[in-house]
Amino acid sequence: MRVAATLPMMLAASLLPLTLAAAASVSTEEVIAETYPQYSVSPPTPNMVVVCHGFGCNYRALVALTSADRAKLAQILAAGQASPAAERRAVATAGAWFDRRIAPVAGTRHHVARAGVDYMFDEGQFDCIDASRNTTSLLLVLEELKLLHHHDVDVPVARGFLFDGIMTPHVTAVLTEKKTREKWAVDAWTTGYGKAPEIMPLEVWQTRD
């Protein structure tokens, strides 16, 4: 089921509450508190995910996750148990699968990479607010299903002119490697329909435009 938000969200305003993630680890409760309330979006569960789309979470699609979906995620993440790098590759594969899974419900089968202002009135597209929330939701589901062995889910991180006066604003989902505490951007906004999100060290992501 797809529903529209009460008030449209503007990208710049959406980025204002976000801050750079701290070096210390955060709890799942803190991730949820920093990610969803400002958009009045319910946090994900292994049975249901609210998918944001249409820019600034202006539209929401309720996607029910079935036992077959959970089994598929377990199958995908099983390939990542050997190492943190393998787990990040498995997360990327899961991101591509999730994008295809939610598209029939959210109407996002034709979403493009890096959708900008030309698409901001198209409910079938994702801006980085949508993409980062949806990816964080997937990561939290993986965490709750105990499918992440080498990473913790972290709060989305923003970069851009609202903070540094140089780059255009952008936000990404984040994983933190448990052993090293290194943070990794999991950025689904930069890829099109059915493609794996880009995963890179957060420090590298923060230097890109």
Predicted confidence (pLDDT) per residue in 151-166, tens digit = 999 999 998 754 444 4
Strand partners, 115: none
Strands 170-177 and 59-64: unpaired
Q: Can you spell out the DSSP letters for 158-194?
A: EESHHHHSSSPPEEEEEEEETTT--EEEEE-TTS-TT
Q: Which of 24-28, 97-101, 106-110, 145-149 has the lowest mean pLDDT?
A: 24-28
Question: Residue 17's CB: how many other CB atoms inside 10 A?
Answer: 10
Mean pLDDT lowest among 23-37, 139-153, 172-186: 23-37
Please state which of the ranges 7-11, 64-68, 172-176 shows the lowest mean pLDDT. 7-11
Asked if pLDDT for residue 9 goes beyond 60, the answer is no
Domain ranges (residues) in the chain: 2-205
Indicate whether 23 pLDDT > 90: no
Tens of pLDDT, residue by residue over 166-190, are: 446 799 999 999 999 999 999 999 9
Strands 183-187 and 198-201, how do they pair?
A: antiparallel
